Amino acid sequence: MAYKLIYPESYIRRARKFFKRHPNLLDQYRKTLELLEINPGHPSLRLHPLKGKLAGLHSVSITISYRITLEMVISEQEIVLVNIGAHDEVY
């Protein structure tokens, strides 16, 4: 069963800013989201739970340097996107 991606307005604003600075990552970002919808556990996404102040959130990789943080609502098969950016920006 496919997951539904939820795009809150706050995430959309962050993503717009991110892609103004990194338009070259748009294709990889789209591939990442497609794979996330189909199989969040796919090894290439490197899905992992976060700790500390971001406990309760997870992270997936767009590339080695760039991440998307997200909240997974497994019971409803939903994934809420929270933030996008470089490793140090989202953590």
Give the tens place of pLDDT for each residue, 34-78. Answer: 999 999 999 999 999 999 998 999 999 999 999 999 988 766 789
CATH number at residue 29: 3.30.2310.20
* The residue to which tokens 């953590």 are assigned: 91
Q: Which two tokens stand for residue 24?
A: 């070259």
| Tally of structural domains, the chain | 1
pTM of the model: 0.87
Characterize the bridge pairing of strands 78-86 and 58-61: unpaired
pLDDT for the residue numbered 25: 95
Supply the range of the domain harboring residue 31. Answer: 4-90
- Amino acid, single-letter form, for residue 82: V
Contact assessment for residue 87 and residue 48, using Cβ atoms and an 8 Å cutoff:
no
Characterize the bridge pairing of strands 4-6 and 66-73: unpaired
